[in-house]
Amino acid sequence: MPTFGGISPAASSGLAALAPHAAAGVSNSAGPVEDSQEAPTPVSLYVHVPFCVSKCAYCDFYSEAAVDPARYAQFVDAVLFEAGHWSHYDLLDDVPTIYIGGGTPTIMGDELVRLVEGLMQTVRLRPGAEVTVETNPETTDIQMVARLVEAGVNRFSIGVQSFDDSVLRTLGRCHDVAQTQRALQALRESDIPFSIDLICGVPGQTFPSWEATLEQAVASGARHASVYPLAVEPGTPLEAAVLEGRTPAPDPDVAADMMLAAEVALTVGGMPRYEVANYAQPGHEARHNLVYWTGGAYLGVGPHAASMLPYPLYEAVAAGEGWEVAAPDAAHVPARARFTREVTLAEYLRYPLRRPEPLELLTAPDAAREDVMLGLRLTAGVLASQVDAAGLGGVLQDLAEQGLVELGADDSGDLRWATTQAGWLLGNQVFGAVWAGPEGS
């Protein structure tokens, strides 16, 4: 059956009338509307799936729980329609990575497989592209994993969080360790690399519990791990429990010690740190996240998905869509556009192509400063020449005097600034100083 915007004509019937470009019948894999001799800009794709089995106590991500499964098909139609629409602006002609996150994408079952298959028809993937699906233990089984791999997924990221049932209960997770072990077995049998997410600094979590979790993480077969200290986000059940005294507030010193223990255990286990909170076997670093951390371009589809595009690309889309573009201002020439669509699922399903809100335009100096800040989150650090070009040499010197960053030569002999061990523990101080720039120091 011919596809239209990556979705079948029947499935897209309610949406096609909304898409002027799609209505021209442009096939999504047929390339740009106008032929261009220029190489397309690499743009990674993020899909936000806003469904979960239930809401975790600490979660402030946008997702809805206990949703009528009929919504899954509507959502997949909307995402494929949206991705197909943006593909006509040459945005998805060289896609180095796709990340389908959430939420809990695997809750959608067959519809997730249809989503992956549809995206494969909608975008032009770069050869060897990384295609990740985020999953949770309660919705991961061997058949689902096999079908996703067949559809083109070549990496999974699973929200394990802890191998201790009492910690999982405090976090309000809807799975237990037995389900986690079954899900990990399914991932191992697929022979596809996977990452696990862990949380430390949970009230009531003991050091032996955390060490046992790290041990099991290393033994799980994961090739990548993300480790975050628990944060109490406004408006979450965890915040209410802390404010009402039902749960003690997480202790940041305990969390810092647990982060240090994670660094040791994961490094010894063959996954050295490559980012402040991320560890990987060499060659298994998360390429999609590296796009975020190195100032690359990415397009988010789905409600609450974030995007960042070089400004000329954004301007072309805005012009095509009839969105207002700020009048040129010689003092603030935008270099990049960062935007989200903060809409509910219901609003998104009604019309997936809303104008970005909020929209942030970054000037070249803003972007350079942000690139240095994000680069210092990586163990590889940032080229000294890049720091100087951003006008941040003095800021980094000040941080070096406090022992938070250091200058050294990489394997090619190039000078790079990198965060020290003390700097990792005071990361907010380092990143804040860089973001504030010379005027802030």
309 is a site residue for ligand SF4 (CB under 6 A): no
Instruction: Spell out the SS3 assignment of 117-145.
Output: HHHHHHCCEEEEEEEEEEECHHHCCHHHH
302 is a site residue for ligand SF4 (CB under 6 A): no
Chosen residue from 22, 43, 52, 112 binding ligand SF4 by CB under 6 A: 52
Nearest to 155 by CA among 276, 265, 280, 272: 280
Measured CA to CA in angstroms, residue 156 lies from 33, 353, 378, 433 at distances of: 33, 28, 22, 35
Site string for ligand SF4, 144-173 (x = CB under 6 A): ---------------x--------------
Which lies closer to ligand SF4 via its Cβ, residue 103 or residue 229?
Answer: 103
**217, 196 in Cβ contact below 8 A?**
yes
- Report residue 290 as tokens: 């590296």
**Least distance from ligand SF4 to the Cβ atom of residue 56, Å:** 3
**Least distance from ligand SF4 to the Cβ atom of residue 171, Å:** 8
Site for ligand SF4 in 54-73 (CB under 6 A): 55-56, 59, 61, 63
Taking contact as CB under 6 A, which single stretch among the options 101-109, 284-292, 331-339, 429-437 is the one that binds ligand SF4? 101-109
Single-letter residue type at 260: L
Please state whether the peptide bond connecting residue 204 to the residue before it is cis, i.e. omega within 30 degrees of 0. no
Under DSSP, the state recorded for 357 is B
What is the rounded CA–CA span in Å between residue 426 and residue 409?
Answer: 23
Which lies closer to ligand SF4 via its Cβ, residue 61 or residue 323?
Answer: 61
**Least distance from ligand SF4 to the Cβ atom of residue 66, Å:** 12
**Least distance from ligand SF4 to the Cβ atom of residue 109, Å:** 16
**Least distance from ligand SF4 to the Cβ atom of residue 127, Å:** 32
Residues that bind ligand SF4 (rule: CB under 6 A) add up to a total of 11
The HSE-up count of residue 218 (CA atoms within 13 Å, CB side) is 17
Please state whether the peptide bond connecting residue 20 to the residue before it is cis, i.e. omega within 30 degrees of 0. no
**Least distance from ligand SF4 to the Cβ atom of residue 112, Å:** 15
Binding site for ligand SF4 (CB under 6 A): 52, 55-56, 59, 61, 63, 102-104, 136, 159
